[in-house]
Amino acid sequence: MTRFKLKLYVTGKTVRTACAVANLRRICEGELEGRVDWVVIDVLEQPQLAEEEKVMATPTLIKEAPLPFQRVIGDLSDRKGVLGGLNLLPRAQLEKGEEVQ
């Protein structure tokens, strides 16, 4: 099974951060349940990581695996857009093995 590795870059503990984390959690506990490792990185605490990954906007979600690398910018409120960015279809279709390549 393809395992996903996701990083969510945020700036501080703001409403926008909370929104992005909640939206990502729903996807990780939904479409990606049991096959994702995800981490939240606060650029205020670790700006050097943002520099290394050339992150400019927050929130920014980076899909490191599976390849290709993909970035999703924003609070992830457009679920359809996020799933498209992660190359995912809704869970029902995933269960039928219809993951988009």
* E strand or H helix at 17: helix 15-28
Does the footprint of other proteins cover residue 6 (CB under 8 A)? no
Q: How far is the CB of 11 from other proteins (least distance, A)?
A: 3
Q: Please count the CA atoms within 13 angstroms of the CA of 101 that sit on its side-chain side.
A: 1
Among 30, 38, 40, 85, binds other proteins (CB under 8 A): 85
Does the footprint of other proteins cover residue 21 (CB under 8 A)? no
| Residue whose CB is less far from other proteins, 81 or 95 | 81
Does the footprint of other proteins cover residue 75 (CB under 8 A)? yes
Residue 4's alpha-carbon distances to 13, 31, 55, in angstroms, are 25, 11, 20
